[in-house]
Structure 1
Amino acid sequence: MLKITKAGNHGILLPQLGIGLDYNGSKADHVFVSHGHADHIPWKVDAKVYATPPTNKFMKLRGASYEVQELAFNQSIETENARVTFYPAGHILGSAMTFVESDQGNVLYSGDYRTPPSPATEGFELPDAQIDNFITEATFSLPVYKWESYEELKTQITEFAQSALEENYTPIFLAYNLGKAQEIMHLVKDLAHPVQIHGAGYKLCSVYDEEGFDLGEYESYDRETCEGNILICPSSAIRNGFASNVRKKRIAYCSGWATMESRRSQLTVDKLIPISDHLDFFQLIDLCQKIRPKMTYITHTPNPDVVKHYLDERNLTSRFLDRS
């Protein structure tokens, strides 16, 4: 039986195989990185590290100084104890699910993922195999998190920007610097209106350009010239004075957490747009039912009990993968 352990807040360790998944530590010979968000990048590593080409670029831009072996989607690498393949995860550009095959069984590690996928990614794809062990994040682990159709969310975003501009307001979208920001840029590009993005997000856009994703007309945020542009920044930047000189502005908070109306007053925003780079609760349950693994390990979640209850109703065996 294959042993699977949680190592720290995010990393997964397969000790019999010497394999770590988004793993910080010294107990793995091979570490596979799912994507370029900082909470999944290993910072203390003494192993061979593998990532998709875009993820490697993000890692370097974010300060990872060690050597990374690039592994393209649907190409496999043989370690001493396993065969490992990346599949597109649909979360952000370069995001990968990691499929590990061994004599002790196989594991599909989701990392962070989204299905249907973000249009600013390579898509979403599952291995063509029976899954023994599925390790799934459950960030949005309650039934209240049910996303509207992507067409409706795109309409909300474009109409928010367009109506603000028509009334001489500067529209500001609050979104993470990597993934969500570029997705919004991809969605508003057809408005043919210039975009300014927070400086930390701006440097990451080059990877999207290199990979052939159209982000429209954009430049780095400039306080002196930002008024009248479509602006994109993380929530923290607004608190630190981003566009504070712009009197007429409208702010939209773009996140799965925007499902909760309380975020409007907490952040002092004009509109909540619940667009996420994770799948919603029901998409998660449906995917588990489609895969029907022998065991589902639930991780990255504030509340695994509700997910487990819904999986139990479908005769799907699961348990919470807690920190070891």
Structure 2
Amino acid sequence: MLAAVMPNGAVLLGSNVVADSYHRRPVRVVTHAHEDHTKYLSRSVAESLFIVATPVTHEFLRILGHSIPQSKALSVDYNKEIEFDGERVKLLPSRHIAGSAQVLVEGPDGTAGYTGDFKMPGTPPMEDLDVLVVDATYGSPHLSRRGTEWDALGALIDIIERRSPESPLVIYGYNGKLQEIMVELRIRGVKETFLADDTTLKLAKVASRFYNVDIGDVRLYNKDELTPGSIAFLHVSKSQPMLKLPAVHIILTGTERRGPAVRVNDNVYRVSFSDHATFWEVVEYIKESRPKKVIVDASRGFDSKFMAEYLSKVLNIDAVSEP
């Protein structure tokens, strides 16, 4: 067995590596710092020999409160190969959040790769693998969003330009996505003062180095500083109590399919910005990758069985959905 996806979301690669959840294996890889990919990390820390991630992901994990002993925390740069018990392990670039990585394992029985979460363009496909485990957050065409991420970004900037002079803005999203948006807005000339809670601000400083973009004036969030001309960036979990504040509230979500931006009421918008590949982008990745077999990760995505059936019947690729 070169690869498998277990019921708890653990992705097994080769004989020694497990990614993004717990399994009794000596090497645990964390592809990125989102909660659904750090499951049971404390148990892996206790039982595995090494916790492997990119340097940025390790920094994110520390900021988010994960305790990994220095003796077990193995920071691996993109494209740098490590060897363990006859298998070679490599982390490859992935466009998702700062520090995200794909995982490639090469051993005597063949090659296995795992995309982790990714989006296109910007994620180089791993080619000619024996087995590819692929993320399919959007596993069928009906889950596709209207417009591209650039349409969503343009819609967000339009909201900022129209509403910022009259009202403070609050943008809600997940860790990683918030920092990416902060960077993208600065690149495009948005000059408003940024406010962020302590965790979001610490992650933003790390992401700023990763993207090599100066995010400029960013202050620790304080309710009194939430005035016109300022934009607060807060984790989506804080949106419900915050929606009562007099401000324009913008929720970043990959599940909004009615358009790039939808106005819910006078002061609430949903912007369709996602860090996951669409169904057709996943298909294009697989076409370029040319794997002998595909395992569609069913533990985190939607309609993974449809994706596997499409690959089998339309592209004539050996594909299954697991677990």
TM-score tier, shorter chain, comes to 0.7 to 0.9
- In structure 2, C-alpha distance between the alignment counterparts of 1:267 and 1:160, rounded to whole Å: 13
**Inter-partner Cα distance in structure 2 for 1:116 and 1:96:** 15
Q: Distance in 1 between matches of 2:61 and 2:7?
A: 20
| 1:120-173 superposed Cα distances (whole Å, 9 cap, x missing partner) | xxxx2234x41111101111122131452343222111111110113x022222
Asked if structure 2 preserves the Cα contact closer than 8 Å seen for 1:49 and 1:68, the reply is yes
Structure-2 change in CA distance of 1:216 and 1:125 (3 Å): farther
Partner deviation per Cα, 1:62-98 (whole Å, 9 max, x = no partner): 2222231111001101110311111111011110000
Structure 2: distance between partners of 1:131 and 1:20: 17
Contact 1:146 1:282 in 2 (8 A): no
Whether the 8 Å contact between 2:171 and 2:232 is mirrored in structure 1 is yes
Q: Which letter maps to 1:237? A: K
**Displaced runs of 4 or more, over 6 A:** 263-269
Question: Which residue of 2 is the match for residue 187 of structure 1?
Answer: 184
Give the alignment's TM-score, normalised by structure 1: 0.87
| 2:76 counterpart (63, 67, 71) | 71
**Structure 2 Cα separation of the partners of residues 163 and 244 of structure 1:** 21
| SS state at 1:17 partner | coil
| Equivalent AA in structure 2 for residue 107 of structure 1 | A
The structure-2 alpha-carbon separation of the partners of 1:152 and 1:270, relative to structure 1 and needing over 3 Å to count, comes to: same
Verify the 8 A CA contact 2:137 2:276 in the aligned structure 1: yes
Picking from 222, 226, 249, the partner of 1:251 is 249
Equivalent in the alignment of 2:215: 215
**Mind listing any 5+ residue stretches in structure 2 that lack a counterpart?**
none
Contact 1:258 1:273 in 2 (8 A): yes
Give the secondary structure class of the aligned counterpart of 1:318.
strand
Q: Secondary structure at the match of 1:256?
A: coil
Q: Which moved more, 1:70-79 or 1:108-117?
A: 108-117
Cα distance in 1 between the residues matched to 2:310 and 2:217: 44
Q: Quick one: which amino acid aligns to residue 196 of structure 1?
A: L
Letter in 2 for 1:173: I
Matched letter for residue 318 of structure 1: A
Cα offsets for 1:22-58 (capped at 9, x unmatched)? 2323x20111211111221222111111111001111
CA distance in 1, matches of 2:16, 2:262: 46
Aligned residues: 306
Partner of 1:294: 292
Partner of 1:96: 101
User: Structure 1's 270 and 243: CA in aligned 2 closer, same or farther, altered over 3 A?
Assistant: closer
The CA distance in 2 between the partners of 1:216 and 1:143, in whole Å, is: 39
d(CA) in 1 for partners of 2:77 and 2:195?
31
Q: Which residue of 2 aligns with 1:49?
A: 51
Q: CA deviation at 1:243?
A: 6.5
Q: Provide the rounded CA distance (Å) in 2 between the counterparts of 1:210 and 1:147.
A: 32
Q: 1:141 is matched by which residue type in structure 2?
A: G
Whether the 8 Å CA contact 2:125–2:288 is kept in 1: the answer is no
User: What is residue 152 of structure 1 aligned with on the other side?
Assistant: 151
Aligned AA (2:217): E
Conserved in 2, the CA contact under 8 Å of 1:6 and 1:12? yes
Q: What is aligned with 1:121?
A: none
Q: Which segments of 5 or more consecutive residues in structure 1 lack a partner in the other structure?
A: 118-123
Cα RMSD of the aligned pairs, angstroms, is: 2.3
Structure 1 residue 192: deviation in Å?
1.0
C-alpha change, 1:258 and 1:198, in structure 2 (3 Å) is farther
Q: Which has the higher contact order (CA 8 A, sep 6+)?
A: 2
